[in-house]
Structure formats: C-alpha cells, structure tokens
C-alpha cells in the first residue's frame, strides 16, 4: 500500500522504522499541525508523515511542494497515498498495513483524524488495531470565533484573496513551486520583465488578483509583484502566474522557484493601453517597496 517513500536529504542515513508517525490527511501544514510536530520532535525519534491526496477538494500543496514544506519543518519521511487507492480499505487492514510497512514506535494525530472505509475509525482505534501508542491531541481553534483552524478555513480565505489572514494560520506563507518558462515577453517591453510559472495541476487556486510576493533566487530573497489570473489588457484570457521581481535583472528561464504570496494588492482589471498598465505597475512597485 505504501509504495512511495520520500526522504528528506538530511535523513538519508536514518531508517524510518521505529519512527514517530504523524497521522492525518495533511492538505498543507497549518498552525493546528504545529502541536503534532512539536510533540513528535520531543520523542527524539525520526519523524514520518502519511499524506493523502485526491480526497476532498483540491489540496493547498501538491507533489514536491508538500515534501518541501514537510522537510522544512523537520519531517524526515513522507508517505504519499492516493485517496482513491485506500477509500475502500477497512480500518483494520489500513492500520495493519501501516504497522507492517512503517512499524512506528508511536503515533500522533488530531482528535478529528478518521480512517478506513467510510471514515468511521479514529486515532484510538488505530492504537487498538496496532498496539502502537497513539497520542490524540486537541484541535487548535480560533480564539475569537471558536472555529477549527484547518485547511477548509484557509482555502476560504485564499479564495477571497485574503493572503495575509490565511498565512497567519499556515506554518509558512502560501506558495507555489515551478520552473520558469518562456512567454511572450510583454512585461519586458513595458519595463517589467516577468518570470512565468505554470500553476501546478490539481493545486487549490487562490483568488485571481495581483499580489505582493517573495522568492529566493540564488540564495537572495526578492520582493515581487505577481499577476495570478488573466491579462485582459492584452486580450489574453489564459491563466498565468507571472512575477516581476524588484531589483533582479538576471535570466530566470529554467530555474525552479517557490513563489510565496504575502498580501493582496489589487484586483485584475483591463487597462486602456500598455502605458496605463505601466503606470499602475509603477504604483504597485512603490507600494511593495514601502510596505504601504
């Protein structure tokens, strides 16, 4: 069942058997997961996580993005599972397979963790089926609303363009990773050359808008202005993710970048001509430079 195992380069000489195992869907890593990570780290054991893709809705992170954020926060091994491959597996069979293939020393999960066909078994059941100690931790809730801090809340905020509010609930700013590809070069013609990245297939889409962003390029962090959506001024309705980096003048084609969405700047609009768009971008640039 667990046919894939992604290994943090820092743990290449460490075995996953006898690890502290994180149980959950892990759409992304948010503040609610920090308690699981913190508790697992206190064991001093290698940390592994089972992630489930293709479940309810589009995930915040896909593929290598998910590995990237897990590894950055101290997870040594990631076992990705497709929901379609396990949706009809009984809770007993799932727990037995995990014990056989990973052999964790202990497990950590939230009180809302469910598994097995129909999602009827919980963390306590996992411990009962395997004999492995399972630490079920309480959910983290918003102090003002009492609402559970989770992926659905974060997606709702991102869907409204509220990047700052969503980031406050995430372990890291919402980001996307991809290789820079060649485009029509329109931005360069008006003095704002952009790095264009295909949006990862299957990844949750935040609101189409213009955002202030950040990215590390050759070890240095740059501020950026990212247009996420169409380019109506030039009659282009194709979805693009194009970023102008303040102060950068090198060639980015072929480089893989992680673009972090810092805050919403404005909605996308159609300008009268390229000169009007250029004036708006100059204004956007001043805002990003000043933090206004």
The 10 Å Cβ neighbour count of residue 265 is 19
The pLDDT of residue 8 is 82
The ranges of the chain annotated as CATH 2.40.30.30 are 173-290
pLDDT tens digits, the chain, 292 residues: what are they? 676 788 888 776 676 789 999 999 888 899 989 999 999 999 999 999 998 887 778 899 988 899 999 999 999 999 998 888 888 999 999 999 999 999 999 999 999 999 999 999 999 999 999 999 999 999 988 887 888 889 999 999 999 999 999 999 999 999 999 999 987 777 777 888 999 998 888 899 999 999 999 999 999 999 999 999 877 656 565 677 999 999 998 899 999 999 999 999 999 888 878 888 899 999 999 999 998 8
The pLDDT of residue 234 is 60
Q: In what order do the strands lie in the sheet with 47-53?
A: 6-7, 77-82, 47-53, 20-22, 106-110, 134-137
| CA separation, residue 44 to residues 73, 75, 106 (Å) | 15, 12, 12
Q: Evaluate whether 22 touches 99 at the Cβ level (below 8 Å).
A: no
Task: Give the DSSP letter of residue 174.
Answer: -
The ranges of the chain annotated as CATH 3.40.50.620 are 6-137
Residue 197: exposed, middle, or buried by beta-carbon count in 10 A (0-12, 13-18, 19+)? Answer: buried
The 10 Å Cβ neighbour count of residue 188 is 12
Q: Where are the beta strands (DSSP E) in the chain?
A: 6-7, 20-22, 47-53, 77-82, 106-110, 134-137, 175-181, 195-197, 209-217, 220-231, 236-245, 256-266
The pLDDT of residue 92 is 97
What CATH number labels 173-290?
2.40.30.30
Helix (H/G/I), strand (E/B), else coil: 234 = helix
Work out whether strand 175-181 and strand 134-137 pair parallel, antiparallel, or are unpaired. unpaired
What CATH number labels 6-137?
3.40.50.620
Q: Which residues neighbour 276 within 8 Å (Cβ) at sequence distance 6 or greater? A: 233
The pLDDT of residue 76 is 94
pTM recorded for the entire structure: 0.90
């Amino acid at each position: 069942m667990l046919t894939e195992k992604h290994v943090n380069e820092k743990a290449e000489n460490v075995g996953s058997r006898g690890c502290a195992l994180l149980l959950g869907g892990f759409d992304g890593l948010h503040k609610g997961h920090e308690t699981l990570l913190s508790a697992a780290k206190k064991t001093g054991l290698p940390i592994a996580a089972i992630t489930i893709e293709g479940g309810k809705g589009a995930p915040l992170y896909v593929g290598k993005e998910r590995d990237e954020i897990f590894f950055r926060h101290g997870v040594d091994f990631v076992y990705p599972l497709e929901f379609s491959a396990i949706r009809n597996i009984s809770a007993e069979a799932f727990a037995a397979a995990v014990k056989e293939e990973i052999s964790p020393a202990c497990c950590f999960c939230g009180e809302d963790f469910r598994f097995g066909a129909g999602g009827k078994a919980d963390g306590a059941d996992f411990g009962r089926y395997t004999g492995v100690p399972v630490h079920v931790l309480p959910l983290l809730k918003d102090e003002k609303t009492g609402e559970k801090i989770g992926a659905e809340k974060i997606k709702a905020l991102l869907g409204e363009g509220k990047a700052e509010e969503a980031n406050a609930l995430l372990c890291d700013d919402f980001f996307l990773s991809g290789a820079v590809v060649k485009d029509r070069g329109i931005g360069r013609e008006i003095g704002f050359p952009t790095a264009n990245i295909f949006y990862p297939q299957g990844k949750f889409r935040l609101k189409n808008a213009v955002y202030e962003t950040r990215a590390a390029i050759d070890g240095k962090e740059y501020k950026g202005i990212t247009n996420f959506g169409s380019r109506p001024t030039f009659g282009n309705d194709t979805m693009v993710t194009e970023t102008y980096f303040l102060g950068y003048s090198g060639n980015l084609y072929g480089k893989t970048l992680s673009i972090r969405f810092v805050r919403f700047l404005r909605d996308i609009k159609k300008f009268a001509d390229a000169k009007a768009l250029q004036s708006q971008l100059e204004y956007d640039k001043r805002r990003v430079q000043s933090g206004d």
